């Protein structure tokens, strides 16, 4: 292999969030500093954004801008930025006290001690680095109380007396609280966030500092409003900016920003992919986030875009794994918050042969996946106890980035799955939930091998037979594959397991030939060169009543007729030009597959 030419291009700041370092090292940076001036209209701020959306880097930006210790480096760090060209009067003015609660060891037995030690360390560092404002005697007086709450109260008293401006930054405020809830349960979480819990007391102290003017500014980030509602008995510690349109694009990348990023690397000679093709891939897998119903712009997930670009330079074909492993791990942690502690009580399980069954939030999660879209007002704040309410749970999915605003219909937001990455992750949530209660756990190694053959050779029938045999053996799953919405349930079940190996991009309810195909499997040719087989699957469903047996052949013919129309339509081949499509008609009678047949593509018509 010949040596790569000596190409100069900005480093990709993937996995990095130290703003000052990024700027001084000349890394790629998308300027968001124009929002700093806008933020100064609010003193105490709370912002919720999904994981991997640039929250930590934004707090680092605020720290660099406002911390008086950073004044000497201001010009070098902010040169060429919007705020650097026109700074506010508050630049380099504050004693900044910054906490990142994701850094705290979240083992329940030692959590309080770890919390106290970490917060004390951060406080002492801020004081020692401002010796002109905190003498040795003042430092000793502030640090002498035994708890962080006592120390903060001493700091606030000193700040009021000596007019020391304080800016408190808290990143990932709900990180360890969410972990405790997911792994230790609601009782442990309640002890942490209610009554005399040390975490609740911390926020009470912080609120006191804002109310008496000791804390001049406050910025808190997290992934959910639930913990804040619980620790403050209803959100009342500051302005919640999460749903306001003027901050919709503060984190994440707009399409113009992503396009400009690709142009930067293309112009440097380090990005040789077709920019529109690359942008199309990222649009499908990483875009689709809209946080305010009054906002116009849709944004891309920050880290997902950087993941793609990182694997594309210098002059590489892009990532084989379109879903970054760190994103998959982060969202995997959320699954326990969505489906954990949702096992039905014994009297309900008794109706299912004594087995544990999923209910509550899992049903809403599955509904969101099955329907694709749902209309619901987004609730700004709610306690954990009210998460069982439909609008609160769907709002939580929105805050997590699992649902996003697609439109506003009659004044109500229409929420939908934002992109292919999230769809794949949500199917993973379903598989994990079925496994957790012993409802369904097929041999995924065999399934992977069979789906690979399906993608390479077009051998779809062994996959269908494998899943059908597993359903026959593991009867608990049948409870989840029947009912009024049976067809939707079966579609989602198939999609969840066909997507598991990751050989296809999976599209549901794709519009084709004046109809909507149930499932379209597009081969991931970028990740697996040579895989060109695609599939359009049409599912029909009958109830288990004896009278339905005779209808199976009628529905089978109906499904095959729909597939012939889809496959003869030019739209399919134009949308997925690299794929060779086969239609698959499936008829289920309850959980039982009673008919399966292939429909091959006819020569493409020149008209639709």
Share of the chain above pLDDT 70, in %: 90
For 39-53, how does the pLDDT look when each residue is reduced to its tens digit (9 = 90+)? 999 999 999 999 999
Confidence of residue 482 (pLDDT cuts 50, 70, 90): low
Cα–Cα nearest to 97, from 76, 128, 72: 128
What pLDDT shows up at residue 345? 43
Q: Is pLDDT above 60 for 508? A: yes
Residue with tokens 């091959």: 600
- Give residue 205's pLDDT band: very low, low, confident or very high (50, 70, 90): very high
- Residue 438: CA count within 13 A, CB half-sphere: 6
Which residues make Cβ contacts (< 8 Å) with residue 356, sequence separation at least 6? 343, 344, 349, 437, 438
In angstroms, the CA 584 to CA 596 distance is 7
Range with lowest mean pLDDT among 56-60, 362-366, 438-442, 560-564: 362-366
Segment 59-84, tens digit of pLDDT: 999 999 999 999 999 999 999 999 99
pLDDT of amino acid 352: 45
Q: Measured between alpha carbons, how far is 226 from 397 in angstroms, rounded to an integer?
A: 12
The pLDDT tens digits for 541-574 are 888 777 677 788 999 999 999 999 888 877 777 8
**Residues in the chain, how many?**
608
Better pLDDT: 159 or 335: 159
Tell me the average pLDDT across 405-418: 95
Domain made up of 31-242: CATH architecture? 3-Layer(aba) Sandwich (3.40)
Do the Cβ atoms of 222 and 205 come closer than 8 Å?
Answer: no
Calculate the alpha carbon distances from 62 to 71, 75, 250, 408, 440 in Å. Answer: 13, 15, 13, 33, 48
Residue 137, both tokens: 């005697």
> From residue 256, how far is each of 30, 262, 300, 346, 421 by CA, in Å?
11, 10, 10, 54, 21
**pLDDT, tens only, 260-286:** 999 999 999 999 999 999 999 999 999
Indicate whether 341 pLDDT > 60: no
**Cβ contacts of residue 420 below 8 Å, gap of 6+?**
284, 285, 322, 505, 506
Cα distances (angstroms) measured from residue 567 to each of 455, 512, 527, 531 = 17, 9, 25, 19
DSSP string, 173-214: TTHHHHHHHHHH-HHHHHHHHSTT-HHHHHHHHHHHHHHTTS
Would you kindly state where each structural domain of the chain is located, as residue ranges?
31-242, 253-318, 323-439, 444-608
- Phi, psi angles (nearest 5°) of residue 595: -155, 140
Q: What is the DSSP string of 24-37?
A: HTT------THHHH
Looking at residue 372, the DSSP 8-state letter turns out to be S
Question: In this predicted structure, which of 133-142, 154-163, 550-559 has the lowest mean pLDDT?
Answer: 550-559
Strands (E), 226-311: 239-240, 253-254, 299-300
Radius of gyration of the chain (CA): 27
pLDDT over 60 at 106, yes or no: yes
Place of tokens 């499509």: 581
């Amino acid at each position: 292999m010949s040596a790569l030419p000596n190409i100069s291009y900005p480093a990709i700041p993937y996995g990095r969030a130290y703003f000052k370092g990024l700027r001084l090292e000349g890394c790629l940076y998308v300027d968001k500093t124009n929002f700093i001036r806008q933020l100064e209209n609010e003193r105490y701020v709370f912002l919720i954004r999904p994981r991997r959306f640039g929250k930590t880097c934004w707090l680092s930006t605020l720290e660099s801008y406002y911390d008086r210790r950073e004044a000497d480096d201001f010009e070098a760090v902010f040169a060429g930025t919007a705020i650097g060209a026109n700074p506010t009067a508050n630049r380099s003015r504050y004693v900044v006290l910054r906490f990142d609660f994701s850094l705290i060891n979240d083992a329940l037995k030692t959590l309080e001690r770890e919390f106290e030690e970490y917060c004390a360390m951060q406080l002492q560092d801020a004081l020692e680095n401002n010796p002109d404002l905190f003498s040795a005697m003042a430092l000793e007086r502030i640090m002498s109380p035994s708890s962080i709450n006592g120390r903060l109260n001493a700091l606030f008293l000193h700040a009021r007396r000596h007019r020391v401006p304080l800016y408190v930054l808290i990143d990932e405020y709900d990180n360890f609280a969410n972990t405790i809830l997911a792994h230790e349960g609601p009782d442990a979480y309640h002890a942490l966030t209610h009554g005399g819990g040390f975490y609740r007391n911390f926020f009470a102290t912080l609120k006191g500092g804002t109310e008496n003017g000791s804390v001049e500014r406050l910025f808190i980030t997290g992934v959910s409003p639930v913990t804040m509602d619980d620790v403050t008995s209803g959100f009342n510690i500051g302005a919640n900016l999460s749903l306001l349109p003027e901050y919709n694009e503060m984190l994440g990348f707009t399409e113009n920003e992503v396009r400009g990023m690709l142009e930067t690397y293309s112009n440097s000679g380090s990005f040789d992919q077709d920019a529109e093709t690359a942008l199309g891939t990222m649009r499908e897998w990483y875009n689709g986030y809209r946080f305010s119903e009054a906002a116009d712009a849709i944004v891309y997930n920050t880290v997902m875009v950087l993941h793609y670009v990182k694997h594309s330079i210098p002059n590489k074909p892009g990532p084989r794994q379109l879903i970054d492993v760190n994103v998959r791990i982060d969202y995997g942690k959320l699954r326990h918050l969505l489906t954990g502690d949702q096992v039905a009580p014994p009297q309900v399980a008794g109706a299912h042969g004594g087995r544990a069954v999923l209910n509550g939030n899992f049903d809403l999660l599955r509904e969101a996946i099955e329907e694709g879209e749902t209309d619901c007002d987004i609730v700004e704040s709610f306690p954990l106890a009210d998460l069982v309410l439909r609008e609160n749970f769907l709002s939580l999915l929105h805050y997590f980035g699992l649902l996003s605003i697609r439109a506003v219909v009659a004044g109500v937001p229409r929420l939908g799955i934002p992109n292919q990455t999230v769809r794949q992750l949500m199917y993973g949530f379903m598989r994990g939930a079925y496994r957790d209660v012993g409802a369904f756990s097929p041999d995924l190694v065999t399934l992977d091998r069979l789906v690979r053959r399906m993608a390479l050779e077009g051998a779809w029938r062994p996959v269908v037979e494998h899943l059908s045999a597993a359903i026959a053996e593991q009867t608990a799953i049948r409870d989840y594959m029947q009912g009024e919405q049976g067809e939707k349930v079966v579609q989602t079940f198939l999609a969840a397991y066909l997507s598991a190996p990751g050989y296809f991009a999976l599209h549901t309810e794709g519009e084709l030939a004046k109809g909507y195909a149930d499932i379209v499997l597009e081969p991931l040719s970028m990740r697996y060169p040579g895989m060109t087989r695609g599939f359009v699957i049409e599912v029909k469903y009958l109830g288990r009543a004896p009278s339905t047996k005779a209808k199976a052949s009628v529905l089978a013919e109906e499904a095959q007729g729909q597939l012939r129309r889809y496959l003869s339509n030019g739209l399919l081949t134009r949308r997925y030009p690299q794929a060779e499509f086969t239609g698959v008609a499936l008829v289920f009678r309850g959980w039982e597959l009673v008919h399966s047949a292939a429909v091959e593509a006819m020569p493409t018509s020149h008209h639709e």
